[in-house]
């Protein structure tokens, strides 16, 4: 395989709602380009993408898969991504290295939530985007309605280049308003016949042709002038205009296909070759130092690792894009993140699971290597001394959590290593060895994501485990001010112990004024590592306690703050003012004051209307309008508070606050009663008091635990 220079490399990523037909379309593209001589199908589990066992089991893409074709003089790298929201990390990292996104839409279903969510990423990145209407062979397909929805959601830049002549079960022809021809496919699809546009379609085709030319001309003044002069644009101008408007995310052409019947993929590749920017024509990659990194093979080498995957018998495969320069087998590059020198012992071009060794790759291309020592997804490799870093991928916040219970205690260490490895492979999975909750917690994007992780750990690492509910990191605080004193006195044999402490314990809030009736002599603010603060005042008058004992009293208070009086949870947001006490010239010491401080605090806390707080999350839920009732009803059962609603096209955006303890199965519940069309994001909001009955239950449960211990 020859190495392509960056003006002849085009990286495209197939994106879209699950089931829209991306993997099937990729298969058509490989077939049409002559890479394979038989098209695989999802049902037969023999596609070039979706090759892993877990994908065969589920019938969905779970990972992104990299493929490539030669189309005329251009190498088109195709990245097929999973549509399921749980695997959005794969979409985001693929977008990072792609030049053009191809949004596949099921014309029978119209614009779906997955389409919209992915659009948000695409639009944010301002990458060139094509739209592809698929499933046009389905009886229910409604191209015009889909185009209207797409324009409604994604703007008027969505521009029809093709429309179906006869959508539905007999679908076999599209009218192309750029080339002004009709393409008619044979029963097996493939290369279509070129026919004149039927007379009855001519007016519509001409109208859409003019709309297209106008949309092209709009993005370039000279073209606009020429268009006004001549009333049309010649082919060279059209190509130039298309290139500019597509590159600048100003025009999103819409194509028509049936991936199932292999109709239309050749035209898309032709268009990519003709009108989509090459790697060299894209805006340069940004570096963390603010500089631009032009995609130029003559510059020093820089590669960005966008994906890591364990492959049986091979170890970790690192997939990278050459952002600059040329990479050769045997090159030594440095990982900017950790200074590790990595040797490129092999370079592969990948075709799904197949690998083809090559000697070199040039800027713009996508390839893989193996056996990197300390390089993971999101790392940059560059020539020694360059020290540059490509701006890393920003992954979304996790949406679900689960704790891990390993069946065999002896597997725990192995599990730790497996989890680390999995996080390196998939940064949207994060691991929290939570000391407070005494659980290993996995944060992921959804239940499917957790299921995939379980499959991987069981099959690839041979460790059996179950998911458990995560414990909730409750907090305790108080709602009332209380004065308390405690005398600690012990006289058994030798030296005695004596300390007396008087304190005012109050609920603390930001901006709280000093206690008005105490003589404030010192103030310390202690931010707590579990959130909130402890504010500690020295208000001692007349030297009743030596200042040297104040830290011991604080220690006593802190001990209790770490092990709250109600449930043993951390205490937060309390102000303690020590204003009086007594000491003994011989028997007073640090230990005695620590104990007195602790007891005075504990007693005060119990009197001060103590409250258990729970973490509460802000949810943003997107659902089709007709499913609002179900979602709202469900939120009520979860103690959710609706904070606002917004309609967004056919979707409703609901903002709600829901306690974490009510969220453990939210992702799957929402998915099941919206048939996968509802989506949500979540973010920690605050700690809020739990209802009275729950507080009682939690206290009782803690008492039982203490009794059992």
Ligand X SMILES: Nc1nc2c(ncn2[C@@H]2O[C@H](COP(=O)(O)OP(=O)(O)OP(=O)(O)O)[C@@H](O)[C@H]2O)c(=O)[nH]1
* Interaction site with ligand X (CB under 6 A): 16, 18-24, 41-42, 60-61, 82-84, 134-135, 137-138, 258-260
Q: Which is nearer to Mg ion, 53 or 359 (CB)?
A: 53
Q: With CB cut-offs between 5 and 8 Å by kind, which of Mg ion, ligand X, none does residue 379 bind?
A: none
Smallest distance from the beta carbon of 144 to ligand X, in angstroms?
18
Structure tokens at 493: 């044999």
Q: Which is nearer to ligand X, 132 or 295 (CB)?
A: 132
Q: With CB cut-offs between 5 and 8 Å by kind, which of Mg ion, ligand X, none does residue 237 bind?
A: none
- Please choose, out of 58-66, 200-208, 233-241, 687-695, the segment that lies near Mg ion by the rule CB under 5 A: 58-66
Q: With CB cut-offs between 5 and 8 Å by kind, which of Mg ion, ligand X, none does residue 421 bind?
A: none
Smallest distance from the beta carbon of 134 to Mg ion, in angstroms?
12
Q: Which of residues 59-78 bind Mg ion (CB under 5 A)?
A: 61
Q: Which is nearer to ligand X, 262 or 336 (CB)?
A: 262
DSSP element (H, E) containing 499: strand 497-507
Q: Which is nearer to ligand X, 45 or 657 (CB)?
A: 45
Smallest distance from the beta carbon of 188 to ligand X, in angstroms?
14
Q: With CB cut-offs between 5 and 8 Å by kind, which of Mg ion, ligand X, none does residue 20 bind?
A: ligand X
Q: With CB cut-offs between 5 and 8 Å by kind, which of Mg ion, ligand X, none does residue 683 bind?
A: none
Q: Which is nearer to Mg ion, 3 or 115 (CB)?
A: 115
Q: Which of residues 10-39 bind Mg ion (CB under 5 A)?
A: 22-23
Q: Nearest to residue 306, comparing CAs of 84, 79, 102?
A: 79
Q: Quick one: DSSP state of residue 398? A: P
Q: Which is nearer to Mg ion, 13 or 282 (CB)?
A: 13
Ordered DSSP codes for 561-598 = HTS-TTTSPEE-SEEEEEEEEE--TTT--HHHHHHHHH
Ordered DSSP codes for 637-681 = HTT-EEEEEEEETTEEEEEEEEEGGG-TTHHHHHHHHTTT--EEE
Q: With CB cut-offs between 5 and 8 Å by kind, which of Mg ion, ligand X, none does residue 678 bind?
A: none
Smallest distance from the beta carbon of 385 to Mg ion, in angstroms?
42
Q: With CB cut-offs between 5 and 8 Å by kind, which of ligand X, Mg ion, none does residue 695 bind?
A: none
For residue 201, what are the contacts with CB-CB under 8 A and spacing of at least 6?
A: 165, 175, 182
**CA distances (Å), origin 510, targets 73, 231, 507, 575:** 66, 67, 10, 11
Q: Is the dihedral of CA 409, 414, 416, 419 positive or negative?
A: negative
* Torsion region of 415: left, alpha or beta (phi above 0 gives left; psi -120 to 50 gives alpha): alpha
Smallest distance from the beta carbon of 61 to Mg ion, in angstroms?
3
Q: Which is nearer to ligand X, 23 or 335 (CB)?
A: 23
Q: With CB cut-offs between 5 and 8 Å by kind, which of ligand X, Mg ion, none does residue 110 bind?
A: none
Q: Which is nearer to Mg ion, 61 or 380 (CB)?
A: 61
Q: With CB cut-offs between 5 and 8 Å by kind, which of Mg ion, ligand X, none does residue 540 bind?
A: none
Q: Quick one: DSSP state of residue 388? A: -
For residue 629, what are the contacts with CB-CB under 8 A and spacing of at least 6?
A: none
Q: Which is nearer to ligand X, 53 or 225 (CB)?
A: 53
C-beta separation of 225 from 241 below 8 A:
no
Side-chain-side CA neighbours of 622 within 13 Å: the count stands at 17
In angstroms, rounded to a whole number, what is the distance separating the alpha carbons of residues 500 and 643?
A: 49
Q: Nearest to residue 532, comparing CAs of 481, 482, 571?
A: 571
**CA distances (Å), origin 601, targets 76, 190, 604, 606, 622:** 69, 80, 5, 9, 46
Q: With CB cut-offs between 5 and 8 Å by kind, which of ligand X, Mg ion, none does residue 19 bind?
A: ligand X
Structure tokens at 259: 């991936």
The 10 Å CB-count burial string (b at 16+, else e) for 414-446 is ebeebbebbbbbbbbbbbbeeeeeebbbbbbbb
The strand ranges marked E within 178-314 are 181-186, 189-195, 252-256, 285-286, 292-293, 302-311
Q: With CB cut-offs between 5 and 8 Å by kind, which of Mg ion, ligand X, none does residue 208 bind?
A: none
Smallest distance from the beta carbon of 60 to ligand X, in angstroms?
4
Q: Which of residues 535-554 bind Mg ion (CB under 5 A)?
A: none
**CA distances (Å), origin 1, targets 4, 177, 269, 356, 370:** 9, 36, 20, 9, 20
Smallest distance from the beta carbon of 80 to Mg ion, in angstroms?
6
Smallest distance from the beta carbon of 297 to Mg ion, in angstroms?
32
Q: Which is nearer to Mg ion, 113 or 279 (CB)?
A: 113
- Position closest to Mg ion via CB: 61
Checking DSSP bridges between strand 439-444 and strand 430-434, what pairing results, if any?
antiparallel
Smallest distance from the beta carbon of 265 to Mg ion, in angstroms?
15
Q: Which is nearer to ligand X, 112 or 237 (CB)?
A: 112
In angstroms, rounded to a whole number, what is the distance separating the alpha carbons of residues 212 and 223?
A: 13
Smallest distance from the beta carbon of 82 to Mg ion, in angstroms?
6
Q: Which is nearer to ligand X, 24 or 100 (CB)?
A: 24
Tell me the angle at which helices 221-230 and 202-217 cross, rounded to the nearest 10 degrees: 140
Q: Is the dihedral of CA 627, 629, 634, 636 positive or negative?
A: positive
Using DSSP's 3-state secondary structure scheme, residue 350 falls into: strand
Smallest distance from the beta carbon of 132 to ligand X, in angstroms?
10
Smallest distance from the beta carbon of 108 to ligand X, in angstroms?
8
In angstroms, rounded to a whole number, what is the distance separating the alpha carbons of residues 172 and 164?
A: 8
- Position closest to ligand X via CB: 83
In angstroms, rounded to a whole number, what is the distance separating the alpha carbons of residues 270 and 185?
A: 16
| Strand-pair partners of 326 | 362
Q: With CB cut-offs between 5 and 8 Å by kind, which of ligand X, Mg ion, none does residue 258 bind?
A: ligand X
Q: Which is nearer to ligand X, 138 or 389 (CB)?
A: 138
Q: Nearest to residue 671, comparing CAs of 450, 430, 429?
A: 450
Q: With CB cut-offs between 5 and 8 Å by kind, which of Mg ion, ligand X, none does residue 616 bind?
A: none
Write 312-315 long-range contacts (CB < 8 A, 24+): 312/460, 314/370, 315/370, 315/371
Q: Which is nearer to ligand X, 137 or 425 (CB)?
A: 137
Total residues binding Mg ion (CB under 5 A): 3
Smallest distance from the beta carbon of 257 to ligand X, in angstroms?
7
- The answer to whether residue 335 forms part of the interface with Mg ion (CB under 5 A) is no
In angstroms, rounded to a whole number, what is the distance separating the alpha carbons of residues 610 and 692?
A: 11
Smallest distance from the beta carbon of 624 to Mg ion, in angstroms?
23
Smallest distance from the beta carbon of 383 to ligand X, in angstroms?
37
Q: Which is nearer to Mg ion, 87 or 537 (CB)?
A: 87
Using CB under 5 A, list all residues that contact Mg ion: 22-23, 61
């Amino acid at each position: 395989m020859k190495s392509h220079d960056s003006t002849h490399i085009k990286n495209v990523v197939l994106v879209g709602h699950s089931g829209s037909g991306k993997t099937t379309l990729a298969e058509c593209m490989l077939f049409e380009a002559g890479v394979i001589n038989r098209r695989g199908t999802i049902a037969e589990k023999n596609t070039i993408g979706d090759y892993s066992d877990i994908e065969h089991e589920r019938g969905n893409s779970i990972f992104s898969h990299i493929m490539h074709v030669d189309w005329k003089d251009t190498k088109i790298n195709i990245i097929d991504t999973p549509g399921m929201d749980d695997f959005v990390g794969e979409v985001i990292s693929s977008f990072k290295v792609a030049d053009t996104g191809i949004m596949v839409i099921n014309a029978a279903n119209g614009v779906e939530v997955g389409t919209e969510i992915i659009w948000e990423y695409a639009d944010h990145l301002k990458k060139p985007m094509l739209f592809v209407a698929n499933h046009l062979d389905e009886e229910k397909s409604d191209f015009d309605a889909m185009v209207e929805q797409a324009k409604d959601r994604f703007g008027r830049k969505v521009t029809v280049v093709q429309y179906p002549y006869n959508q539905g079960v007999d679908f076999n022809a599209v009218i192309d308003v750029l080339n002004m021809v009709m393409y008619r496919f044979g029963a097996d699809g493939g290369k279509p016949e070129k026919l004149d546009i039927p007379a009855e379609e001519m007016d519509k085709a001409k109208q859409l042709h003019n709309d297209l030319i106008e949309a092209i001309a709009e993005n370039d003044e000279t073209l606009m002038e020429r268009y006004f002069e001549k009333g049309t644009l010649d082919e060279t101008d059209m190509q130039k205009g298309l290139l500019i408007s597509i590159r600048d995310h100003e025009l999103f052409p819409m194509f028509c296909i049936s991936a199932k019947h292999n109709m239309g993929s050749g035209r898309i590749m032709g268009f990519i070759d003709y009108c989509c920017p090459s790697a060299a024509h894209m805006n340069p990659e940004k570096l963390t130092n603010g500089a631009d990194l032009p995609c130029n093979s003559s510059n020093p080498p820089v590669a960005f690792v966008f994906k890591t995957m364990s492959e049986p018998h091979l170890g970790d495969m690192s997939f990278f894009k050459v952002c600059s320069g040329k990479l050769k087998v045997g090159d030594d590059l440095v990982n900017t993140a950790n200074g590790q020198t990595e040797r490129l012992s092999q370079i592969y071009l990948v075709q799904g699971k197949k690998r083809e060794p090559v000697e070199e790759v040039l800027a713009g291309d996508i390839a893989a290597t193996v056996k990197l020592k300390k390089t993971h997804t999101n790392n940059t490799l560059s020539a020694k001394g360059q020290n540059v870093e490509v701006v890393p991928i920003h992954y979304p916040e996790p949406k679900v959590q689960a704790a891990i219970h390993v069946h065999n205690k002896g597997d725990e260490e192995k599990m730790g290593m497996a989890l680390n490895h999995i996080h390196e492979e998939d940064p949207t999975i994060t691991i929290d060895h939570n000391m407070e909750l005494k659980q290993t917690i996995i944060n992921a994007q959804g239940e499917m994501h957790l299921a995939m992780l379980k499959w991987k750990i069981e099959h690839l690492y041979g460790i059996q485990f179950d998911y458990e509910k995560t414990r909730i990191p409750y907090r305790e605080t108080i709602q009332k001010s209380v004065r308390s004193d405690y005398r600690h006195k012990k006289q058994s044999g030798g030296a005695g112990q004596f300390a007396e402490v008087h304190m005012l314990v109050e609920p603390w809030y930001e901006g709280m004024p000093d206690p008005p009736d105490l003589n404030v002599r010192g103030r310390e603010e202690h931010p707590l590592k579990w959130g909130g603060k402890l504010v500690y005042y020295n208000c001692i008058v007349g030297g009743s306690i030596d200042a040297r004992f104040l830290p011991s009293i604080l220690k006593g208070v802190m001990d209790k703050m770490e092990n709250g009086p109600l449930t043993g949870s951390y205490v937060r947001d309390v102000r303690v003012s020590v204003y009086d006490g007594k000491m003994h010239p011989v028997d007073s010491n640090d230990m005695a004051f620590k104990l007195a401080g602790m007891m005075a605090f504990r007693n005060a806390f119990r009197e001060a209307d103590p409250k258990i707080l729970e973490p509460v999350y802000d949810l943003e839920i997107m659902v089709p309008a007709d499913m609002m009732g179900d979602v709202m009803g469900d939120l009520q059962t979860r103690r959710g508070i609706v904070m606002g609603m917004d309609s967004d096209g056919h979707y409703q955006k609901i903002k709600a606050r829901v306690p974490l303890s009510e969220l453990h199965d939210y992702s799957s519940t929402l998915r099941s009663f919206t048939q996968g069309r509802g989506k949500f994001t979540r973010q920690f909001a605050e700690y809020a008091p739990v209802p009275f009955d729950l507080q009682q239950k939690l206290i009782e449960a803690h008492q039982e635990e203490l009794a059992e211990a």
